[in-house]
């Protein structure tokens, strides 16, 4: 059955969009400019330019400004630092944020570890602290290093924690580190705002010494990664141990979220136990706040605005949420999804997406995550873990999680007496008491009024036709669905349909393909004055496009078939001043961002198999543009964009992903109504129903919509 996604958004003021940062790629693009044709040697110059043009190289570390500090301060402490982790680094088109670190995550990047620039001082004293002698190195993170600091001149060596401890963790961050940003590290601000937040290590002193910013913190014990790794004979933890970790970790995240922050990099390496032999040895701590960010605006108190930057990734590939892989603004749901993967890893010893390598590793991992249902992920785990995973992966962007409910999932797995548990769960008990539950325990009774949520991860990918309809004045529009099983440029049926439409004053406004079946949309509202088209075995036929650029034609519609062929339509009478296109094996987010900076906007897209073709033009008549890229139909993101004044202007989809380009036009239409429809077959009957409401096909594609 077709599923309708519609929205009437009228009279809303466009919101101010953030300007995208230009991020370069090294691939050449095809470009055409009218002004070049004015010169006598324009044709030759254009060909040379097209064959040679490539974006100028820039420092990508500068282009994507990232706030974030550092290394695991106190915590990296006893954790085994410097072990390699497969999850960090640049993955495909994703640019990783090298802001945090964990016990063994040393390939987030070491931009701030300027060991060769400035030696670590032998003794330090900052912010009114005692004098410490710097001893052995405990760990190294993305922006700093952690050392043991031994208090100088101490007579009583019994104090092991607190500001007077004999041994402390000293976290050094060089003043030139990206996390410092011409001032104290960003992480300092997070620790200050969190204060004495439950489960966050205490910072006793901080200040600058020579070229380094230094934090003085308690030394902590091993990370959960170390504890798991020490069980080498089983490569897993006990069910009760992991359930206790789940309960306490949820309470720690709840307290951090209540302060308005999300952690951004939840994983086993960033959970540490207290120091052995101290009262804190069974306590759980969450460290490394370098990727922490606000989910709640500090001025308005409201949830931060939704956004998506597919080229930006923050976190650790193995444990990051699917939303983080897709570049969406971090929110509370992402921490909980990362925690879910952490728990399954500790319990099973492996996650289904481990082992991927190569430049597109991040894409493959996120694709696998999206295709793995909670049932499949937790097939060897007790039911409470499956229930938790299912709950967190279905949370919406700004939805407040029910932390008490999450804790209650594990209620029957742990010992009834908290004092007998392997992990101290006092924080969770306090949380449960706050919601009025006796003895700090919840039942699993569901509210009668609670509506069942629609599950978004079923593990069964499906493809549909996606059609977009815009409100227009009454006009003539025609669609044709033409069968093509073999390439044949002179196919009479295809030419017949186009020529018949031309005789009626119609021009092709949109083309699409599904398994070599071509869909042509022709209407009288394009404003075109002439049109040429080519059905080619190439995706795309560069020489033919260049030839028609010289004749003042611009690409206005493209489609690709699964057999590698393409259908390209070029028209006269467009407002375009310059045009570029790019064919890529993955969605070219970085190139799009670069062209946005240069004043181009996406005007049409297509796919062929797993390949993408993006056409961008100057003079397209848009003020701002955004991309929604997902492994399913991004209903939530599209509706949020509609509310901000955006309208879908281009669509394309592969069997893995669907992409929607939404734009704010310079000239606001009289009727801003836009609706979308998803159907298993071409929406012939639905198109006619829309025509009756003066809604006309603006874009159509076939590909992945549900998982």
Active site residues: 265
701 to 479, 489, 693: CA distances (angstroms): 13, 22, 22
CA trace torsion 147, 153, 157, 163 (10° rounding): -60
Structure tokens at 257: 């979220």
Contact status, residue 439 vs residue 482, Cβ threshold 8 Å: no
* 171 is an annotated ligand-binding site residue: yes
**Spatial separation of the C-alpha atoms in residues 377 and 342, rounded to whole Å:** 12
Pick from 320, 449, 444, 319: nearest CA to 383:
444
What single DSSP character describes residue 268? G
Handedness of CA 111, 115, 117, 118 (dihedral sign): positive
Contact status, residue 337 vs residue 377, Cβ threshold 8 Å: no
| Distance from chain centroid for Cα 264 | 12
| Distance from chain centroid for Cα 168 | 37
Structure tokens at 527: 């404003």
**Spatial separation of the C-alpha atoms in residues 86 and 88, rounded to whole Å:** 6
Structure tokens at 668: 């606001």
CA trace torsion 389, 326, 333, 642 (10° rounding): -120
Contact status, residue 611 vs residue 584, Cβ threshold 8 Å: yes
Instruction: Give all strands (DSSP E) within 106-220, no chain letters.
Output: 123-124, 132-140, 145-151, 167-174, 203-209, 212-217
**Spatial separation of the C-alpha atoms in residues 122 and 135, rounded to whole Å:** 8
Pick from 68, 265, 262: nearest CA to 181:
68
Contact status, residue 617 vs residue 576, Cβ threshold 8 Å: yes
Contact status, residue 284 vs residue 271, Cβ threshold 8 Å: yes
Contact status, residue 34 vs residue 577, Cβ threshold 8 Å: yes
Structure tokens at 265: 């990099």
Beta bridge partner(s), residue 170: 147, 216
Long-range CB pairs of 163-166 (<8 Å, 24+ gap) are 163/129, 163/204, 163/205, 163/216, 164/130, 165/218, 165/219
398 to 291, 329, 395, 419, 671: CA distances (angstroms): 19, 10, 8, 36, 29
**Spatial separation of the C-alpha atoms in residues 554 and 353, rounded to whole Å:** 43
Q: Which residues of 488-507 are buried (b: 16+ CB within 10 A; e: fewer)?
A: eeeeeebeebbeebeeeebb
What 3-state class would DSSP assign to 696? strand
Q: Which residues of 601-615 are buried (b: 16+ CB within 10 A; e: fewer)?
A: bbbbbbbbeebbbbb
Structure tokens at 350: 């492996």
Contact status, residue 613 vs residue 585, Cβ threshold 8 Å: no
The string of DSSP letters for 466-492 reads EEEEEE-SS--EEEEEEE-SS--TT-H
**Spatial separation of the C-alpha atoms in residues 244 and 382, rounded to whole Å:** 14
**Spatial separation of the C-alpha atoms in residues 506 and 501, rounded to whole Å:** 5
The binding site comprises: 171
The binding site for ATP comprises: 171
């Amino acid at each position: 059955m077709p599923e309708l996604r519609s929205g009437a958004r009228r009279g809303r003021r466009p919101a101010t969009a953030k300007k995208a940062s230009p991020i370069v790629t090294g691939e050449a693009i095809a470009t055409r400019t009218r002004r070049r044709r004015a010169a006598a040697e324009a044709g030759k110059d254009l060909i040379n330019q097209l064959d040679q043009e490539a974006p100028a190289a820039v420092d990508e570390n500068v282009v994507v400004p990232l706030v974030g500090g550092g290394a695991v301060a106190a915590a990296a402490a006893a954790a085994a630092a410097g072990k390699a982790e497969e999850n960090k680094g640049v993955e495909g088109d994703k640019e990783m944020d090298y802001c945090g670190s964990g016990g063994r995550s040393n390939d987030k990047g070491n931009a701030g570890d300027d060991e060769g620039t400035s030696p670590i001082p032998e003794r330090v004293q900052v912010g009114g602290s005692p004098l410490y002698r710097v001893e052995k190195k405990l760990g190294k993170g993305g922006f700093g290093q952690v050392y043991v600091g031994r208090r100088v001149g101490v007579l009583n060596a019994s104090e092991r924690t607190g500001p007077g401890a004999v041994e402390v963790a000293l976290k050094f961050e060089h003043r030139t580190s990206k996390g410092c940003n011409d001032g104290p590290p960003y992480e300092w601000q997070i620790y200050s705002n969190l204060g004495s937040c439950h489960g966050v290590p205490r910072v006793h002193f901080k200040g600058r010494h020579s070229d380094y910013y230094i934090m003085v913190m308690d030394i902590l014990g091993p990370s959960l990664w170390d504890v798991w790794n020490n069980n080498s004979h089983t490569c897993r933890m006990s069910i009760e141990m992991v359930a206790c970790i789940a309960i306490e970790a949820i309470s720690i995240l709840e307290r951090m979220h209540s302060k308005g922050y999300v952690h951004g990099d939840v994983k086993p390496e960033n959970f540490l136990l207290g120091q052995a032999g101290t009262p804190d040895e069974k306590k759980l701590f969450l460290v490394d706040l370098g990727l922490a960010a606000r989910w709640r605006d500090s001025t308005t108190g409201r949830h931060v605005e939704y956004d998506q930057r597919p080229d930006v990734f923050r976190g650790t590939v193995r444990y990051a949420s699917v939303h983080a892989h897709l570049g969406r603004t971090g929110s509370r749901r992402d921490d909980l999804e990362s925690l879910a993967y952490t728990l399954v890893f500790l319990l099973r010893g492996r996650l289904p997406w481990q082992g991927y390598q190569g430049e597109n590793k991040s894409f493959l991992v996120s694709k696998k995550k999206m295709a793995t249902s909670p049932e499949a992920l937790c097939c060897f785990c007790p039911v409470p873990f499956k229930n938790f995973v299912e709950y967190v992966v279905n949370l919406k962007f700004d939805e407040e999680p029910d932390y008490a409910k999450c804790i209650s999932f594990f209620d029957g797995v742990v010992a009834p007496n908290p004092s007998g548990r392997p992990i101290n769960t006092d924080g969770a008990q306090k949380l449960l008491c706050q919601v009025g539950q006796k003895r700090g325990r919840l039942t699993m009774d569901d509210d009668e009024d609670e509506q069942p949520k629609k599950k978004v991860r079923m593990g069964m990918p499906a493809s549909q036709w996606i059609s977009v309809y815009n409100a227009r004045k009454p006009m003539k529009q025609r669609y044709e669905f033409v069968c093509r099983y073999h390439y044949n440029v002179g196919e009479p049926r295809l030419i017949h349909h186009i020529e018949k439409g031309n005789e009626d004053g119609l021009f092709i406004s949109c083309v699409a393909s599904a398994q070599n079946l071509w869909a042509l949309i022709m209407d009288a509202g394009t404003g075109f004055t002439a049109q040429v088209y080519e059905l080619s075995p190439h995706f795309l036929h560069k020489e033919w496009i260049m030839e028609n650029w010289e004749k003042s034609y611009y690409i206005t519609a493209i489609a690709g078939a699964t057999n590698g062929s393409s259908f390209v339509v070029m028209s006269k009478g467009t407002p375009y001043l310059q045009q570029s296109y790019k064919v890529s094996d993955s969605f070219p987010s970085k190139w799009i961002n670069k062209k946005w900076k240069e004043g181009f906007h996406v005007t049409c897209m297509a796919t062929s198999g797993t390949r993408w073709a993006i056409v961008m033009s100057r003079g397209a008549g848009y003020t701002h543009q955004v991309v929604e890229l997902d492994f399913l139909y991004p209903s939530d993101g599209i509706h949020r964009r509609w509310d901000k004044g955006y309208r879908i202007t281009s669509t394309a989809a592969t069997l893995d992903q669907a992409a929607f380009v939404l734009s704010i036009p310079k000239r606001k239409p009289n009727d801003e109504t836009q609706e979308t429809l998803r159907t298993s077959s071409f929406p012939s009957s639905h198109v006619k129903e829309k025509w009756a409401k003066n809604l006309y096909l603006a874009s159509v594609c076939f590909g992945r919509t549900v998982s």
